[in-house]
Amino acid sequence: MKTEIFADKVIISEYDSFDIEETLECGQCFRFFKIAEKHYKIIAHAKELYIYQHEGVTEFYPTTIEEFKDLWVHYFDLERDYTQIKQSLAQNDPVLCKAIEFAGGIRILNQDPFETIISFIVSQNNRIPMIKKVIDNMSRQFGDKLTEDYAFPTLQQFAERSLEEICECKTGFRGKYIMDAVSKISGGLVDLQGFKVKQTTDLKKELMSIYGIGSKVADCILLFSCSRHEVFPTDVWVKRIMSELYLSESATLNDIAKAAAEMFGDKAGFAQQYLFHYARVHNIGK
DNA sequence: GCCCAGGTATAAA
DNA sequence: TTTATACATGGG
């Protein structure tokens, strides 16, 4: 990867496996706005970023240039070799071959764990446009003003709010789940500082101790904010996809889960995202 | 009106 | 252990 630094922007080129549209629109993050084709505004880690891709080149317009190496390189996982990962995923697997062909430019983001916890609580039994709206409501109501938009509220800012105030952001029945998450994190029962060093299985148990966080949401948090690419895709999407593709409709969830485990092994985390795209484009999993 | 959404807690079989 | 249902809200 080649990096060029200018006064107001950073340009990278000679990279592979980075498509901004696929990366943002695949459902792993919610705070972005499409300005034009391959041209987005992103809000993450209390910073705003404009990003623009064209002809094998990516232009970053952060608030300050230092932000690029301090924050955005890690956020977009730019130091990991995705080409090699994709080769290994595609080996002897026709489904992943097709999926990679369809959306080979996805990068698994390194998002803020607290924001990701709250965001994926909001995601349950909900649709992406509504999830984005609820998160935007909470940011506007409770978060700090940035240059143009609002930062996702901090743990402290959430802790100052009542259940009623949180529900006013249209969280629905998930308001009480958010309250429990905030209270457990504030009280240290869920220790965000330990997220970097703990075993994935222990971390998952800790996350699932929060009222309203089950296996699916826990996996999303582990994958999209903690680089735990080995998480097993327990989510109903993948089970349904497996059911459609490989097994009879009468197969139990257990049969499907077992088949998926054999198929993906420790690469399941990446497989989850690719499968999502594959399913969406082929209209599978309804 | 009716159905359902990138799920989960709960009760009941 | 597995299966059915309610849940807030809004869009199709």
How many angstroms separate the CA of A128 from the C1' of C10?
Answer: 12
Q: Between the CA of residue A190 and those of A44, A147, A181, A194, A211, what are the distances in Å?
A: 22, 32, 8, 9, 12
Residue nearest to nucleotide C6 (CA to C1'): A173
Which are the catalytic amino acids of A? 216
State the CB neighbour count (10 A cutoff) for residue A266: 10
Is pLDDT of A171 > 80?
A: yes
Position of tokens 């965001």?
A119
- % of chain A beyond a pLDDT of 90: 64
A111 in Cβ contact with A75 (< 8 Å): yes
Supply A99's token pair: 């999926």
How many angstroms separate the CA of A262 from the C1' of C9?
Answer: 38
Taking the CA atoms of A62, A67, A71 and A72 in sequence, report the sign of the dihedral they define: positive
Q: Which of A1-15, A33-47, A190-204, A269-283 has the lowest mean pLDDT?
A: A269-283
Question: pLDDT for A39-83, tens place per residue?
Answer: 999 999 999 999 999 999 999 999 999 999 999 999 999 999 888
Which chain B positions come under 7 Å from a protein C-beta? 5-9
Residues in chain A: 286
How far from chain centre, in Å, is Cα A18?
15
E strand intervals along A6-123:
10-13, 32-36, 39-44, 47-54, 57-62
Q: Which nucleotide comes closest to A27 if you measure CA to C1'?
A: B6
How many angstroms separate the CA of A126 from the C1' of C6?
Answer: 15
Which one has a higher pLDDT value, A138 or A268? A138
- Check residue A89 and give its pLDDT: 73
Cα(A151)–Cα(A87) distance, rounded to whole angstroms?
37
Give the predicted TM-score (pTM) of the model: 0.90
Q: Which nucleotide comes closest to A223 if you measure CA to C1'?
A: B6
Residues at the strand C interface (CB under 7 A)? Answer: A 125-127, 129-130, 167, 170, 172-173, 252-254
Q: Which nucleotide comes closest to A253 if you measure CA to C1'?
A: C2
Cα(A88)–Cα(A177) distance, rounded to whole angstroms?
38
Mean pLDDT, chain A, rounded, equals: 86
A94 in Cβ contact with A83 (< 8 Å): no
Cα(A276)–Cα(A255) distance, rounded to whole angstroms?
20
Question: pLDDT for A224-234, tens place per residue?
Answer: 999 888 775 54
The helix (run of H) or strand (run of E) holding residue A106 is none
Question: pLDDT for A236-261, tens place per residue?
Answer: 445 555 555 555 555 555 555 566 55
How many angstroms separate the CA of A214 from the C1' of B8?
Answer: 6
Residue nearest to nucleotide B5 (CA to C1'): A126
